[in-house]
Amino acid sequence: MRLLDKYILREYIKIFLIILFSFSVLFLVVDISDRLPRLLSKGGEMHDIILYFLLRIPYLVLLSSPVMVLLSGLFLMNNLSKYSESVAIRGAGISILRMVSPLIWFGLIFSVFIMFIGDLVLPKAEEYRNYIYKEKIKHQKVEDKKMRSHIHYLGSDKNLYYIGFFDGYRNNLKTIDITTFHPATGEIKRKITATSASWESEEWVFHNCYIRNFENGIPIGMKHYEEKVIEEVDVTPLDFIKSAKKPISMNFFELRGYIRRLEKVGEKFTKELVELNLKVSFPFANLIILLFSVPLVSTSSRSKGRGLIFGMGLLVCFLYLSTLRICQSLGYNEVLSPMVAAWLPNVVFAAIGIFFVIKAEV
């Protein structure tokens, strides 16, 4: 690595660590002043409350990482311009893009690091934080929702399923109705009803089961079974359990598996799919937002526009976060597809950032 690259990277990381520490302390102070009285009123132990606040740091770092990255870049570029170091660098025939290339690499590596934090560290921290809040402070139990009623869904076999009641503690079903329709005419082809079903040896055993066959909508036969295994029913007890975890408390693979479970039993999963895409798209905001610090280096130290560019850079960062939240909301409400909702802000602001870099070069 060239001497210039080491110098720029060292100065940037130095500023970044100062801002990271400052933001962490600031957010913790705000969070503590807002929540501490309520937590103390619930009778929580002080060591649990301290751990509760410390476990919030990964979330705060992830959420504010684009702002910290941009501020660090703006302060660095301001110093380079203020002390005419950027003029000397450009006078040596080094382009702006080449000069800031160490920052681009830092932004890329930091984006991957934030993705790692968001997928491995954050879910564990939020899960344990929720455990402390529910069980240690509020003295409540944290568990999955294992009791459900009136479940309707379209199965992978295109059969229409109705489950009157699901007991996830005993892995039992009550009042089952499975209807098969003719694919061409839409008429009823077969109807299976059962009083109950139990999960035994990795399969559902239906009790007091009736199988009725139809032709042109008219019953043509019925069979009764005290116990019957219907192999086409491919759902498991886990598929019926709605997780008490929030998407932020799941890693990528847990959330993807949960979405498949929701899809299997006909539940809506649009919100979860948006969050799944955001787990990949949001970390790269750190690389994209960093581009907006580059124009400052091409501005004269005496230029009145330097302060304006500094302010505009921060404004762009908050506009990005606002746009992301708007697109996220539109994705939740199915106005935008989950992938578009997660990636549209990145595409738009990446294009704007690249434009600013090219303009600064000229």
Please give the DSSP secondary-structure letter assigned to residue 357: H
Query: Sign of the C-alpha dihedral, residues 224, 229, 232, 233?
Result: positive
Return phi, psi of residue 348, to 5°.
-65, -50
- 18 token code pair: 């100062």
Q: What is the pLDDT of residue 356?
A: 79
Return phi, psi of residue 160, to 5°.
-95, 120
Categorize the per-residue pLDDT at 86 as very low, low, confident or very high, splitting at 50, 70 and 90.
low
H or E segment and range at residue 27: helix 3-41
State mean pLDDT over 259-287: 86
98 vs 225, higher pLDDT = 225
Q: Give the whole-number percent of the chain exceeding pLDDT 70.
A: 88
Q: How far is CA 72 from its chain centroid? A: 25
Burial class (CB in 10 A: 0-12, 13-18, 19+), 128: middle
C-alpha–C-alpha distance, residues 132 and 123, integer Å: 14
Q: Give the whole-number percent of the chain exceeding pLDDT 90.
A: 19
173 vs 81, higher pLDDT = 173
**Which residue(s) pair with 211 in the sheet?**
192, 223
Q: What is the DSSP string of 274-334?
A: HHHHHHHHGGGHHHHHHGGGGGGGGS-TT-THHHHHHHHHHHHHHHHHHHHHHHHHHHHTT
Give the position of tokens 């434009």: 355
Beta strands in 39-187 (DSSP E): 147-154, 160-167, 172-181
- 139 token code pair: 């003295």
C-alpha–C-alpha distance, residues 273 and 78, integer Å: 40
Contact (Cβ atoms closer than 8 angstroms) between residue 198 and residue 172:
yes
pLDDT above 70 (res 308)? no
Contact (Cβ atoms closer than 8 angstroms) between residue 246 and residue 126:
yes
Categorize the per-residue pLDDT at 278 as very low, low, confident or very high, splitting at 50, 70 and 90.
very high
Categorize the per-residue pLDDT at 7 as very low, low, confident or very high, splitting at 50, 70 and 90.
confident
C-alpha–C-alpha distance, residues 10 and 69, integer Å: 14
Helix (H, G, I), strand (E, B), or coil: what is residue 267? coil
- 64 token code pair: 């504010």
pLDDT above 70 (res 310)? no
Q: How far is CA 306 from its chain centroid? A: 36
**Which residue(s) pair with 23 in the sheet?**
none
Q: What is the pLDDT of residue 256?
A: 87
311-338 tens-digit pLDDT: 776 788 888 889 999 999 999 998 999 9
CB atoms within 10 A of CB 91: 9
Which distant-in-sequence residues (6+ apart) come within 8 Å of 269 by Cβ?
259, 262, 263
Please count the residues of the chain: 362
In 3D space, the residue among 308, 315, 316, 329 whose CA is nearest the CA of residue 288 turns out to be 316
108 vs 292, higher pLDDT = 108
- 49 token code pair: 């409350």
**Which residue(s) pair with 197 in the sheet?**
173, 206
Please give the DSSP secondary-structure letter assigned to residue 138: S
Which distant-in-sequence residues (6+ apart) come within 8 Å of 160 by Cβ?
152, 154, 178, 179, 180, 181
Q: What is the pLDDT of residue 174?
A: 92
Q: What is the pLDDT of residue 342?
A: 93
The reported pTM is: 0.72
**Hey, where are the domains in the chain?**
3-139+269-361, 147-239
pLDDT above 90 (res 161)? no
pLDDT above 70 (res 296)? no
186-244 tens-digit pLDDT: 788 889 999 999 998 888 999 999 999 988 778 888 899 999 888 778 788 877 776 66
Helix axis angle, 101-116 relative to 3-41, nearest 10°?
A: 30
HSE-CB for 297 with a 13 A CA cutoff: 31
